[in-house]
Amino acid sequence: MDSKFSKSWINMRIHYDTIARSGILNEFIEKNNLKQNYHMIDMCTGSGSFLIWALKQGLFPNRAILVDNDINLLKSIKSNLRQNFKNIYVIKSNTNNLDLTISDKSQKKFDVSIVKENCDTYEIKDTQPHIISYSAAIDLMSKSSIDICLNKINHYNILFLSLCFDGKVKWKLSHPYDKYIMSYFNKHQSYDKGFGKALGYKSIDYVSKKARELGYEIKIADSPWIIQNESLDDITFLKRYVSDIKKSLFHMDGIDRSMLRRWHNDKIDSITNKSIKVQVGHKDLLLYKK
């Protein structure tokens, strides 16, 4: 199956992801005095959403490594950073035209290595402690990929799994087919998205159980998207969200396409003409060794 993620969709999400992530990582960094001295590895980085969020929180790493196997997404990191931090940071390309250096007005700077590689096989070579993040990714992963990810924790590394989809979407206005569509959507979430058969929303329980077995501390917080059709951007995003659901489910075995079409058309109508709100459930998970 083609598991490539749409660049326009990933880029559109950045704003909503930025406001959705919880504060559990920030609190941990503050409490453990890591702010001045932390290294970041963002796995499945896509187009750099997590680094953008971290910088907006004032979490300026000493060094960042961003890993993904999709070069098209990786190539848009520079422009996304420039767009988000115009007049705040200077973002320069290094000689290979992919890696970056980011500096602030006081000339404090850090290097960003951008690596095209499979996250399952990527080896952490540096010996200093890292905050390793997977954002909007864990629900796409298989059991074995999650096991590999959990093994990256040691006494020094911290794992932050943000925006893990929890399988729940609440619409206000609700639609009589919402439940039906969600049952297919959650089935679709278990298809291969780049790591073999995905665990979908069950990944949250799987990670929590494994963390306990492995003796890791774990903190969990809600990080839902809560979106109303207030601005033009919200309306565009919500329309894209329901259209992408329709597109993904359309060829699934057993789905009633006339129900899917009706659901999609009614959602587009209510996004355009009524006042609506959607809550897409996510959890943030922070794991570390005591």
What are the residues binding ligand SAM (CB under 6 A)? 5, 10, 13, 17, 44-46, 49-50, 68-70, 73, 118-120, 135-137, 140, 194-195
The dihedral through the CA atoms of 7, 8, 11, 17 has a sign that is negative
Q: Nearest approach, Cβ of 262 to ligand SAM (angstroms)?
A: 28
Tokens of 264: 């999609």
Determine the residue with CB nearest ligand SAM: 194
Q: How far is the CB of 274 from ligand SAM (least distance, A)?
A: 29
Nearer to ligand SAM, 61 or 194 (CB): 194
**Least distance to ligand SAM from the beta carbon of 209, Å?**
23
User: At its nearest, how many Å lie between ligand SAM and the CB of residue 121?
Assistant: 8
DSSP-derived 3-state class of residue 253: coil
Whole-number minimum distance, CB 13 to ligand SAM, in Å?
A: 6
Residues in the chain: 290
CB nearer to ligand SAM: pick between 124 and 268:
124
Residues 6+ apart with CB under 8 A from 133: 25, 40, 41, 42, 43, 50, 159, 160, 161, 162
Question: By C-beta, is 100 or 137 nearer to ligand SAM?
Answer: 137
Between 16 and 276, name the residue whose CB sits nearer to ligand SAM: 16
Kindly report the backbone phi and psi dihedral angles of residue 100, in degrees, each rounded to the nearest multiple of 5, phi listed first: -130, 160
Which neighbouring-strand residues pair with 64? 40, 112
**Beta carbon nearer to ligand SAM, 50 or 184:** 50
Q: What stretch of H or E contains 288?
A: strand 277-288
